[in-house]
């Protein structure tokens, strides 16, 4: 059994070796040290942005358990992963299920996508007591993955509003968006909400009424608000643009790189920069400027430049 599933064996014998946190900050392997420098630069960028923008968030609020529901905990490998929808989070949840499953799963891609999103399959940080939360935040390696904010937004729009099967999103958000943003909407559009245009979606996001009404849905919520990088010190920030390298680096630090590789897939439907440019062509410069303001901290914090296609006022 041990030979057939080396993964289960690795999990049982993890304790006693160096933790991912030790390996990240004091790498024993030369191959890991050059990458460590890159991640130090990314961490510094987040710290500097938080500091520069702390004037607006001077009321440094205390995190509540609700703020921690996106942080997935792996006890065996001392990892905490903050998942961000539309940034390979299905595959990362699959990997976390392999890591925490104690040999129950060995191949992430054998786990059905819908099973990866069943909340009881993974333990999140909000399920612990406050002393336990503090202990883990201090001693476990915390990581997240980010993506160019507008590419992520277009990806969310395409997935939630242009796919016929996403009826729950059409009902919950589509009908509301049509009612609020479309003049002379037909009764059918008001009832179904399944033909929301990207311009209407943008108008909904920048509408102050939307912001007051309820928090954004996690698929278009900012990374800043989902993972709280100004309150939680992330040790490692992976990028969608270098997904494979960054993911496998995390697995190497966790000591499982020999057994587990991050799933690679060439998805033809993936949202690209060119596609994002097209979606923004019909958005007025005023709306582009207002939308950029909503996602500005994500752009700054994770070092994404202002897209060349934007016409900011």
3-state secondary structure 29-85: CHHHHHHHHHHHHHHHHHHHHHHHCCCCCCCCCCCCHHHHCCEEEECCCCEEEECCC
196 and 279 share a domain? yes
pLDDT at residue 55 in the model: 54
182 and 203 share a domain? yes
The span from the CA of 11 to the CA of 239, in Å, is: 26
pLDDT at residue 16 in the model: 52
Domain total for the chain? 2
The span from the CA of 243 to the CA of 89, in Å, is: 11
pLDDT at residue 234 in the model: 97
58 and 84 share a domain? yes
| The model's pTM | 0.91
Look at strands 79-82 and 141-146 and give their pairing: parallel
- Using a 10 angstrom Cβ sphere, with 0-12 exposed, 13-18 middle and 19 or more buried, the burial of residue 101 is middle
Place of tokens 């599933």: 5
pLDDT at residue 3 in the model: 33
80 and 214 share a domain? no
Q: Decide: helix, strand or coil at residue 236.
A: strand
pLDDT at residue 2 in the model: 32
pLDDT at residue 103 in the model: 87
275 and 128 share a domain? no
Residue 121 counted as domain residue: yes
pLDDT at residue 28 in the model: 80
Copy the structure tokens of residue 203.
């108008």
45 and 179 share a domain? no
105 and 160 share a domain? no
pLDDT at residue 12 in the model: 41
HSE of 168 in the Cβ direction (CA atoms, 13 Å)? 1
276 and 236 share a domain? no
Residue 6 counted as domain residue: no
95 and 120 share a domain? yes
- pLDDT < 70 regions, the chain: 1-16, 55-61, 266-267
pLDDT at residue 10 in the model: 43
Residue 165 counted as domain residue: yes
31 and 109 share a domain? yes
Cα–Cα distance list, 92 to 128, 143, 246, 293 (Å): 22, 11, 12, 29
285 and 235 share a domain? no
Domain housing 214 = 150-219+271-296
Order of strands, edge to edge, in the sheet holding 123-124?
Answer: 123-124, 71-74, 79-82, 141-146, 236-239
50 and 110 share a domain? yes
Residue 306 counted as domain residue: no
In tens, the pLDDT along 31-81 reads 777 888 899 999 999 999 999 987 555 556 688 888 999 999 999 999 999
pLDDT at residue 56 in the model: 56
Residue 9 counted as domain residue: no
């Amino acid at each position: 059994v041990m030979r057939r599933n080396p993964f289960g064996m690795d999990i049982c014998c993890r304790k006693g070796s160096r933790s991912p946190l030790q390996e990240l900050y004091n790498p024993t392997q030369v191959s890991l040290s050059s990458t460590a420098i890159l991640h130090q630069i990314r961490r510094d960028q987040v710290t500097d942005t938080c500091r520069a923008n702390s004037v607006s968030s001077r009321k440094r609020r205390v995190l509540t358990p609700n703020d921690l529901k996106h942080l997935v905990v792996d006890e065996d490998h001392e990892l905490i992963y903050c998942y961000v929808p539309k940034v390979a989070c299905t595959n990362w949840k699959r990997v976390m299920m392999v890591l925490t499953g104690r040999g129950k799963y060995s191949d992430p891609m054998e786990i059905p996508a819908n099973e990866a999103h069943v909340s009881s399959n993974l333990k999140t940080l909000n399920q612990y007591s406050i002393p336990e939360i503090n202990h883990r935040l201090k001693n476990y390696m915390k990581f997240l993955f980010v993506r160019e904010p507008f590419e992520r937004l277009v990806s969310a729009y395409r997935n939630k509003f242009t796919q016929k099967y996403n009826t729950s999103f059409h009902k919950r958000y589509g009908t509301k968006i049509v009612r609020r943003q479309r003049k002379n909407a037909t009764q059918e559009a008001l009832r179904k909400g399944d033909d929301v245009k990207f311009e209407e979606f943008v108008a909904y996001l920048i509408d102050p009424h939307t912001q007051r009404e309820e928090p954004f849905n996690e698929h278009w919520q900012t990374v800043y608000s989902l993972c709280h990088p100004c309150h939680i010190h992330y040790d490692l920030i992976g990028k969608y643009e270098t997904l494979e390298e960054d993911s496998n680096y995390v697995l190497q630090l966790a000591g499982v790189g020999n057994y587990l590789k991050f799933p690679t897939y060439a998805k033809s439907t993936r949202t690209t920069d060119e596609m994002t440019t097209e979606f923004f062509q019909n958005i007025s410069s005023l709306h582009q400027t207002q939308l950029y303001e909503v996602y500005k901290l994500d752009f700054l914090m994770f070092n994404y430049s202002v897209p060349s296609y934007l016409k900011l006022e």
